[in-house]
Chain A
């Protein structure tokens, strides 16, 4: 739902201010998204179907060949797209909600609480995501949810620190004081002024973090800490192709390319969003000077 709104906002933004990186990024991301959606309704083969011959090169019957059990790799890639997006969206949602909340609390809090939260965030950022994931997997067992939680928590620390800094800078500006002198309360300040002003920067970072979380999910799956079989994530496809990478390289190349397409797409989106996110490039539709007799101001 929110993704739809965001996409809508992004496309209107593109129409107004063209950013080619954003367009290319959206095309790459859309490719993966479309694949994931199609995989919900149609797959070339059953993912557990081992009827094909083993380690077959790409052919008309098997677009990306088969793995060493004779399963269709294109089918696995499509399911992998679904998983990569689910983990990415899930962890970005966790990271955004926890991160922005924590960042705002720290920005508004008194010195003691602010220092406490900041120290906690520094520790969390220094803590390796993989170790955090292993702890969560140890407590909950390897699942898609464990991976989402681990990546989301690690991300929330980064987003929280960013939000805190941005919010503190904006809270010190005159328009906040001006608004408060006319009687605006804390929530009014947050909704009316603070969030709209920190959001463009945070959005760019969330897009970047989305890309990083796709890589993180692949790493976790590679280590067996991600979604368990029969879910085929791109990371586990890499792991399974490890032994046969010289004899049947397509098994490693295909998921590799898939990861590159998605991460590159997200990074380009982040770049494009940064280009159009600059507040001073915001132009109201009507403010474009109509031809008048007035001289230049």
Chain B
């Protein structure tokens, strides 16, 4: 692998299903340590793009084009090869923290799963004590208070914000090169949302991880990423550095997003 090819290179990605084109000729690139936002309303194909990167499109949907992750072509790859790519090259945090965690498994055990897999991948042998210590430190890393209690709880026993922190810890556990965050704060209330965003920005910067942040909310995206791609009905309508986009949006749709974000900010400003 040469160093100047991006970590994630999407070229002409087209996803079709049920006689409709859901994502149309999408191209984007993320280099190591870069942070990109993918913005669009629901149904614009953002989440499908995230699933396509993991090679996990639902049956009945077909992807065309080129999608290279860490030098490997994902589209058309065999499940076996994809499995070794997942976790190592990328992992995902989902929108709904309650459904993204197994309701019958204590959080510590769920977190142990990817941790153990990473140790196996790196050829390390992990004793039970080490594993417990790593679980503890992973939960501390995502700023969870009382990690031992959390590790011993079932998902429904902790709050939504805490669940999302655990989900983030699980995604980080495999130490991926690219973290995909699919609307990770949408299901949370505004104050918790802010905390999670700050946390996300911090851990990604600390570990020099690349980030693909998917959201419908420009205000949220602007807090964590440098560049943005705006998606509407499966087509990328505008792209560029976030500051520039906020200053002078060109596409009409982006303008409505910016106006919306401003109005929201103003409303917040009046409150605080």
Chain A residues in contact with chain B, CB under 8 A?
Answer: 110-111, 173-175, 177-185, 188, 192-193, 196-197, 279-280, 282-287, 297
Residues of chain B with a CB closer than 8 A to A197's CB:
102-104
Residues of chain B with a CB closer than 8 A to A283's CB:
154, 157
B211 to chain A, nearest CB (A): 15
A277 to chain B, nearest CB (A): 10
The answer to whether A110 touches B59 (Cβ under 8 A) is yes
- Across the two chains, which residue of chain A brings its CB closest to B107? A284
Given contacts A182-B174, A287-B153, 7 further A-B contacts (CB under 8 A): A175-B101, A177-B94, A181-B87, A181-B180, A182-B170, A183-B91, A192-B113
The answer to whether A174 touches B157 (Cβ under 8 A) is no
B139 to chain A, nearest CB (A): 14
The answer to whether A182 touches B91 (Cβ under 8 A) is yes
Residues of chain B with a CB closer than 8 A to A182's CB:
86-87, 91-92, 113-114, 117, 170-171, 173-174
Chain B residues in contact with chain A, CB under 8 A?
Answer: 51, 54, 56, 59, 83-88, 90-92, 94-96, 99-106, 113-114, 117, 149, 152-154, 156-157, 159, 167, 170-171, 173-174, 180
The answer to whether B152 touches A181 (Cβ under 8 A) is no
- Across the two chains, which residue of chain A brings its CB closest to B84? A183
A290 to chain B, nearest CB (A): 9
The answer to whether A181 touches B56 (Cβ under 8 A) is yes
Given the complex of chains A and B, what is the CA–CA distance between A201 and B90 in angstroms? 34
Complex A-B: 17 CB contacts under 8 Å: A178-B92, A178-B101, A178-B167, A179-B102, A180-B54, A182-B113, A183-B91, A184-B117, A193-B102, A196-B102, A196-B104, A197-B104, A280-B103, A283-B157, A284-B106, A285-B152, A287-B154
Given the complex of chains A and B, what is the CA–CA distance between A110 and B79 in angstroms? 15
The answer to whether A196 touches B105 (Cβ under 8 A) is yes
Given the complex of chains A and B, what is the CA–CA distance between A192 and B54 in angstroms? 20
B215 to chain A, nearest CB (A): 17
Residues of chain B with a CB closer than 8 A to A111's CB:
59
The answer to whether B104 touches A175 (Cβ under 8 A) is no
The answer to whether B104 touches A282 (Cβ under 8 A) is yes
Q: A181-B90, A297-B159 are in contact. Are A174 and B99 (CB under 8 A)?
A: yes
Residues of chain A with a CB closer than 8 A to B87's CB:
181-183
Residues of chain B with a CB closer than 8 A to A175's CB:
99-102
Q: A196-B104, A196-B105 are in contact. Are A181 and B153 (CB under 8 A)?
A: no
The answer to whether B83 touches A181 (Cβ under 8 A) is no
Given the complex of chains A and B, what is the CA–CA distance between A282 and B106 in angstroms? 10
A178 to chain B, nearest CB (A): 5
Given the complex of chains A and B, what is the CA–CA distance between A76 and B60 in angstroms? 59
A109 to chain B, nearest CB (A): 11
B65 to chain A, nearest CB (A): 20
A236 to chain B, nearest CB (A): 44
Given the complex of chains A and B, what is the CA–CA distance between A297 and B100 in angstroms? 21
The answer to whether B103 touches A279 (Cβ under 8 A) is yes
Residues of chain B with a CB closer than 8 A to A285's CB:
152
- Across the two chains, which residue of chain B brings its CB closest to A281? B156
Q: A182-B171, A183-B86, A197-B103 are in contact. Are A286 and B152 (CB under 8 A)?
A: yes
Closest 8 interchain pairs by CB? A183-B87, A183-B86, A174-B99, A181-B92, A174-B100, A287-B153, A286-B152, A182-B87
Given the complex of chains A and B, what is the CA–CA distance between A196 and B84 in angstroms? 25
B29 to chain A, nearest CB (A): 20
Given the complex of chains A and B, what is the CA–CA distance between A188 and B116 in angstroms? 12
B258 to chain A, nearest CB (A): 30
The answer to whether A287 touches B152 (Cβ under 8 A) is yes
Given the complex of chains A and B, what is the CA–CA distance between A197 and B155 in angstroms? 14
- Across the two chains, which residue of chain A brings its CB closest to B162? A297
The answer to whether A183 touches B96 (Cβ under 8 A) is no
Given the complex of chains A and B, what is the CA–CA distance between A250 and B14 in angstroms? 77
Residues of chain A with a CB closer than 8 A to B154's CB:
282-284, 287
The answer to whether B104 touches A279 (Cβ under 8 A) is yes
- Across the two chains, which residue of chain B brings its CB closest to A173? B99
- Across the two chains, which residue of chain A brings its CB closest to B87? A183
Given the complex of chains A and B, what is the CA–CA distance between A284 and B105 in angstroms? 10
Given the complex of chains A and B, what is the CA–CA distance between A192 and B170 in angstroms? 15
The answer to whether A183 touches B99 (Cβ under 8 A) is no
Among A111, A174, A183, the one with the most B-chain Cβ atoms within 10 Å of its Cβ is: A183
